[in-house]
Amino acid sequence: MDDIVIIGAGEAGTRAAFATREAGFSGAVTLIGTEPHLPYERPPLSKPLGGAVQMKTICTSEALEAAGIAYHQGLAAIRIDAAPRSIALSDGRALPYGKLLLATGAQTRRLACPGAERTLDFRTYRDAATLFSRAETGGPVAIIGGGLIGMELAAVLRGKGIAVSIIEAAPRPLGRAVPPRFAERLHARHREEGVHFHLGLGIAEITPDAVMLADGSRVPAGTVISAIGVLPDITLAERAGLATANGILTDSFLRTSDPHIFAAGDCAAVSQPGGRAIRFESWRNARSQAETAARNMTGTREAFAALPWFWSDQYDLGLQVAGLPQPGHQSILRPVAGGELEFYLADGRLVAAAGLGTGNAVAKDVKLAEMLIAAGIRPDLSALADPAVNLKALLKSARAA
């Protein structure tokens, strides 16, 4: 019995299903998703075209069929019985597995203040459809949380001429994933666009027409969006007795504490060479972990080693970050046409890079930086800082060395 069952039909689960076939696996593959649609991409949800929320499917039902993937939509896995290797489904059926992939993703964190039930979440197609239909007519919008999702939504709503406030408990927006220089640039741009910031303040209460802050001030809002981050969906794993922390713990091969069960995407906390376990919440990570997990479930033994990478579009600005920039890193600034790049070094070795510019102005250079990081270079700092020094030439000489 070597059938593969995948719980979760988001980017990771769906990608993994196809990747088992690309790896030559010929047994049964079953993909289970709780949402009542074909698998769809989440990044386009915050970018409605002409007012309508986009449902960009990851694949067609014909493609699923052609790959021999049995897709069950609108169905939940309610229990894993690890000893007989079987899962219990919400329709009462039991589904046996040889290898199981948990791609359960994450769920939005909920506010705990009075009136929290009045806020809208932003995670699913349904959330997006509700938000954009409400926001068009619902007066000013308050976004709780100045992270990537909150800031991206603010930019989209300002583009529609809607008044927007951002309320953030930390002293600065984008403090978690974005290097300070670019976080400041984006913050400034939002202010220029008319977004009102309320920073370093907790929430006392959400009323039908306002958010009341801890210092007594009142932020008028007809619609309140909660964008305070996500929590990995680890319920099934916990109940099955798998090791969990901030995510389902896996080794570097994306195997959980049960050798027949793997995890990938937003729900997986993957063991790192330094001993920590890290969970990444990004589109590319969901895909690359899914591919590694699929290969490992079908018999290879490949450590997951992809460099984290994400992008964020706000107004006409595009941000890209590769690797994990840390406050302790040495940073080197490089101006480029239409934007700026920053390189991050640890003990002389290039470990991360980020860029902010108009449209995709920094995309090529961040990609080259990613390849330079993978090549393990210890670059000449003045060359990195000098826009006249071609990064492609640096890469070629590094590869030739």
Partner 1 sequence: MTWVQACKLTDIEQEGAIRFDHGGRTYAIYRAPDDSVYCTAGLCTHEAIHLAEGLVMDFEVECPKHSGAFDYRTGEALRLPACENLKTYPAEVIDGEVRVALG
Decide: is 367 part of the binding site for partner 1 (CB under 8 A): yes
Q: Smallest Cα–Cα separation from 201: which of 225, 230, 229, 170?
A: 170
| Span of 73-81, 85-93, 268-276, 361-369 interacting with partner 1 by CB under 8 A | 361-369
Decide: is 359 part of the binding site for partner 1 (CB under 8 A): yes
Instruction: Quote the least distance from Cβ 334 to partner 1, whole Å.
Output: 16
Residue 155-174 contact track with partner 1, rule CB under 8 A, x = bound? --------------------
Position among 56, 239, 260, 399 found at the interface with partner 1 (CB under 8 A)? 56
Decide: is 364 part of the binding site for partner 1 (CB under 8 A): yes
Q: Smallest Cα–Cα separation from 158: which of 178, 143, 173?
A: 143
* Residues with Cβ within 8 Å of residue 85, at least 6 apart in sequence: 1, 96, 97, 98, 100, 260
Burial 195-220 (b: 16+ CB within 10 A, else e): bebbeebebbebeeebbbbeeeeebe
Residue 254-293 contact track with partner 1, rule CB under 8 A, x = bound? -----------------------------xx--x------
Q: Smallest Cα–Cα separation from 162: which of 194, 190, 140?
A: 140
Q: Rounded to the nearest 5°, which phi and psi values hold at 246?
A: -85, 65
Looking at the Cβ atoms of 260 and 399, the one nearer to partner 1 is 399
Looking at the Cβ atoms of 160 and 396, the one nearer to partner 1 is 396
Give the integer Cα–Cα distance in Å for 242 and 257. Answer: 6
Decide: is 86 part of the binding site for partner 1 (CB under 8 A): no
Decide: is 399 part of the binding site for partner 1 (CB under 8 A): no
Decide: is 363 part of the binding site for partner 1 (CB under 8 A): yes
Instruction: Quote the least distance from Cβ 157 to partner 1, whole Å.
Output: 22
Instruction: Quote the least distance from Cβ 365 to partner 1, whole Å.
Output: 9
Burial 55-66 (b: 16+ CB within 10 A, else e): eeebbeeeebee
Q: Please say whether the beta carbons of 129 and 201 come within 8 A.
A: no
Q: Please say whether the beta carbons of 312 and 148 come within 8 A.
A: yes
Decide: is 311 part of the binding site for partner 1 (CB under 8 A): yes
Decide: is 368 part of the binding site for partner 1 (CB under 8 A): yes
Q: Please say whether the beta carbons of 111 and 144 come within 8 A.
A: yes
| Span of 129-137, 219-227, 274-282, 363-371 interacting with partner 1 by CB under 8 A | 363-371
Looking at the Cβ atoms of 165 and 314, the one nearer to partner 1 is 314
**Total residue length of the chain:** 401
Q: Point out which residues bind partner 1 (CB under 8 A).
A: 44, 56, 283-284, 287, 311, 359-361, 363-364, 367-368, 392
